[in-house]
Structure 1
Amino acid sequence: MRIDVLGCGSAFSLHHTTSAIRIIDNQQAQWLIDCGPTVPRALWNRKVDINAIDVIFFTHIHPDHCAGLAVLLNHWKSFGRVKPLQIYCQSEQQTVLVNQIALANWPHTELTFPIEILNSQPEWKWRGWQIRTAFAQHEIPSQAIRIEADNHVLFYSGDGRPTDATQSLMAGSTLAFQECASWQPLTTDASHGDYPACLALCEKLALNLMVLYHTQDADRTAITRACALHPNLRLSNDGTLFDLEKPNWLQAAL
């Protein structure tokens, strides 16, 4: 399993792509997690083949996590994608995606490839992947996801503060991505994570590596310095590739 960090930025970052990752398993199956407004450009810069991505999973439907979908689909249509695409999303939030699919092809009604929109569930299987989701604490329902594949476990929090349910998904992960908007502690009812709480959670779960992302631009320097003192924490960066198949992947990541 490889994890390509397409973007680590907050919603309005001036310097980083909006937060998203690409997951590639050992059979070259690929998932895209979230697709904010600047994510398509990150895919184009990597020259990702138009038929490479099998699934897009949306943690939640805020603009910085979904506004790039119409652009990406329009690009795939324009260059002749034929591979079927599956999209997983919470059922209550799918209307926005349906509208973006329509926009991607407007004024026409058919793309060059089929799209199937599916309800994300608490647990399901996709090919050889075992998938579980749980809700973080956010202003709208936002799902964390745990993917078990190729003898590895990936956790990706989506937006929001950790909950008991998302902590359960994170436990035992090979690699964990946790949203961390703020260097300063936030109130316990906040919609985003903060560095002190993330550090405490990383130590509580004795994680191999917790990668912090979706951080405000102004807080990145302080969090980078703090992470340097903790070997199991690091701040995410656009373009980082975690290759979990390499024996020394953790040392290389740190």
Structure 2
Amino acid sequence: MRARGPRRRGRALVCPPPAGPPPPLPRSLCPRGFLRGGTDPRSAPVALSRHALRRRSGGAGAGVEGTLRLRRLVHGIGVVHPAGGIELRPGDRSHGGRGGGAPPRIRADRGEGAADDAPALAPRRRAPGDGALAARGNGLARGAAARDPPPPGRCGRKARDLPEYGAEMRVTAVGSGDAFCSGGRGHTCWLIDDAQGTFMVDFGATALAALKRLGREPDGIGAVHFTHLHGDHIAGWPFLLVDAMYRSRRRSPLVVSGPPGTKDRLQALWSACYPAAAERPLPFALEVRELEPGDRVELAGRSLRAFRARHMSPPQIALSLRIGDLAFTGDAADIAEGLCDGAALLCTECTNLGESTGEHLGWKTLREKLPAVPQVLLGHLGEDARRGIAPPPGVRVCDDLDSVEL
């Protein structure tokens, strides 16, 4: 059969494919990994992908095959479609470092499923004047953006629930924002670990998510003390119950306290959010104690004293609480007399930068009347307060998940 020569089609010169195998290439031009015992990588007896077999069986011309070989050698990756699309074989990795066929490598210091080139948990954007999230004061305070969620298997009581460094108590700001979640912060509530176990003061709508970000098991909470019945302080209650009923199957008892009307308000909230679940009995014992200002009680192994807080209009009552050596203002226009006597730490709201209003404390007023308490934690912060407060020694502007140990 006579070889065909070049022919013209219009103004274009069409060349026939060359006969015979392509000439060998020098070793210096072959990318690492393509040489097989010194043979030409284009004709080496290596396994072909099904795409390459389909193309070869389809009668692709040697000219096209030569182009594919050249592009494969230049780019150092798998089979190249004539249209220009790149298909990676298993084990290949794209030049961008992402999206390749190779499975991602797992770093020992990252959780399972995190690729080696994936960025770490990015710190939350902070407004000017928010301050650093590194360890402050005695070096025991830690912020949310300064740590990733704990690794799996480290959420047990021995690993997470007890204070560290020989401390007797840890106080954590589960949320530090006001009712509007100013600055992206959660509703203010406090988590306390002590020798008797774990309890919380208030439980807003964002509390359950924050607990799980901390790696804390909600079933480990033995008591919840509500200062008053506004939504940003109680709206997490139905989520705590539904988690206990359907996920964790809680069995340990829970003690709850609050101002008059707490039991009815919590039940109404539970029924409104999950009416079918609210008709079923809880799988654990629930004790609800309603407190009047001036009451002194023992709850969950701790002494508790209730003070009237100036925040709500009668007949509703808001409370400030003294629990052991800790004082909590809740939402209040001032600090109740006697609340801080002998206290080791005060957790107070500070919604405004200026003067106190009829319902909330302001920094200008609070700064002039700071009680003689070794440490003060500021929560329930509005945007102007968070940006503008320059705290004196012993006072800390809290961020979500900040903690201090006593």
Return the TM-score normalized by structure 1: 0.84
Aligned to 1:31: 199
SS in 1 for 2:297: strand
Q: Does 1:45 align with 2:207?
A: no
Q: Does 1:145 align with 2:321?
A: yes
Matches within 5 A, 1:9-88: 9-14=177-182, 15-27=184-196, 29-79=197-247, 80-88=249-257
More strand per residue? 1
The one-letter code matched in structure 2 to 1:216 is: G
Whole-Å separation in 1 of the counterparts to 2:350 and 2:251? 37
SS in 2 for 1:170: coil
SS in 2 for 1:220: helix
Q: Per-residue CA shift, 1:130-155, capped at 9, x if unaligned?
A: 2111011112421111111xxxx111
Q: Per-residue CA shift, 1:176-228, capped at 9, x if unaligned?
A: 011111001135xx1100102211221xx3221222211112331101xx21x
Whether the 8 Å CA contact 1:86–1:117 is kept in 2: the answer is yes
Q: Per-residue CA shift, 1:26-58, capped at 9, x if unaligned?
A: 24x111111111111011112222420111111
Structure with the larger RCO, 1 or 2 (CA within 8 Å, 6+ apart): 1
Whether the 8 Å CA contact 2:176–2:187 is kept in 1: the answer is yes
Q: Pick from 326, 331, 335: which aligns with 1:159?
A: 331
Whole-Å separation in 1 of the counterparts to 2:331 and 2:212? 25
Measured after TM superposition, the shift of residue 91 of structure 1 is 2.2
Structure 1 window deviating more from structure 2 (79-88 vs 43-52): it is: 43-52
Q: Does 1:182 align with 2:182?
A: no
Aligned to 2:263: 94
Whole-Å separation in 1 of the counterparts to 2:236 and 2:372? 35
The one-letter code matched in structure 2 to 1:139 is: M
| Consecutive unaligned residues in structure 1, runs of 5 or more | 245-254
The one-letter code matched in structure 2 to 1:46 is: L
Whole-Å separation in 2 of the counterparts to 1:207 and 1:36? 26
In terms of Rg, which structure is larger?
Answer: 2
The one-letter code matched in structure 2 to 1:7 is: G
Inter-CA distance 35–179: structure 2 relative to 1 (3 Å threshold): same
Whether the 8 Å CA contact 1:199–1:233 is kept in 2: the answer is no
More helix per residue? 1
Inter-CA distance 136–50: structure 2 relative to 1 (3 Å threshold): closer
Give the share of equivalent positions with the same residue, in percent.
25
RMSD over aligned Cα atoms = 1.7
SS in 2 for 1:101: helix
Q: Pick from 170, 176, 190: which aligns with 1:2?
A: 170
The one-letter code matched in structure 1 to 2:181 is: S
SS in 2 for 1:186: coil
Count of matched residue positions in the alignment of Structure 1 and Structure 2 = 229
Whole-Å separation in 2 of the counterparts to 1:139 and 1:127? 27
